[in-house]
Amino acid sequence: MKPWTLANTLLDRAASFLADPFLLGIRLYWGWQFFQTGKGKLSDISAPTAFFTELGIPFPQLNAYMAGGTECFGGLLLLLGLVSRVTCVPLICVMLVAYGTAHLDVVKTIWSDSDSFVTAPPFLFLLAVLTVFIFGPGKFSVDALLRRRGKS
């Protein structure tokens, strides 16, 4: 076996071994962040309602409850790794709406000022849920536990 082939094989195995702990870390950290953010909105609904009104979002109070509820309860589900990919879809939508409303200026300048786009508050939230949506929750999740039990 050629040395670079052996090195590639070893790196592939190491990276594969790290995938599940990495996904667990993303889910735990960002699930908690979503939960905290949503809980904050729901505990003082007047603040996000006023902000949504300022942005011109229709039905601002209803949308504040929907965003807060999605973040709060979606964050808990993400943290547990329960119905993970389904949970990611509304969380992705909330982050895209955040970009399209509160951070529209950085979206408009994404190609000329990409630093502003990636440093906007929704970016890391969006990146985290896209990662879980694409790669799944990993084997340290309730989803994986239920899948293993279903095969027994």
Per-residue pLDDT of the chain (152 residues; tens, 9 = 90+): 677 787 788 888 888 899 999 999 999 999 999 999 999 999 999 999 999 999 999 999 999 999 999 999 999 999 999 999 999 999 999 999 999 999 999 999 999 999 999 999 999 999 999 999 999 999 999 999 999 998 76
In a domain, 8, yes or no: no
In a domain, 58, yes or no: yes
pLDDT score for 152: 63
In a domain, 11, yes or no: no
The pTM assigned to this predicted structure is 0.90
In a domain, 139, yes or no: yes
pLDDT score for 13: 87
What is the DSSP code (8-state) at residue 136? -
In a domain, 6, yes or no: no
In a domain, 2, yes or no: no
Rounded alpha-carbon distances, angstroms, from residue 49 to 12, 69, 97, 111, 130: 48, 13, 15, 31, 27
In a domain, 130, yes or no: yes
Give the pair of three-digit tokens for residue 29: 């950290």
What is the DSSP code (8-state) at residue 102? T
Q: Which of 119, 125, 98 is nearest to 32 (CA)?
A: 125
In a domain, 129, yes or no: yes
Q: Which domain holds residue 111?
A: 23-151
Give the pair of three-digit tokens for residue 85: 């990919």
Number of domains making up the chain: 1
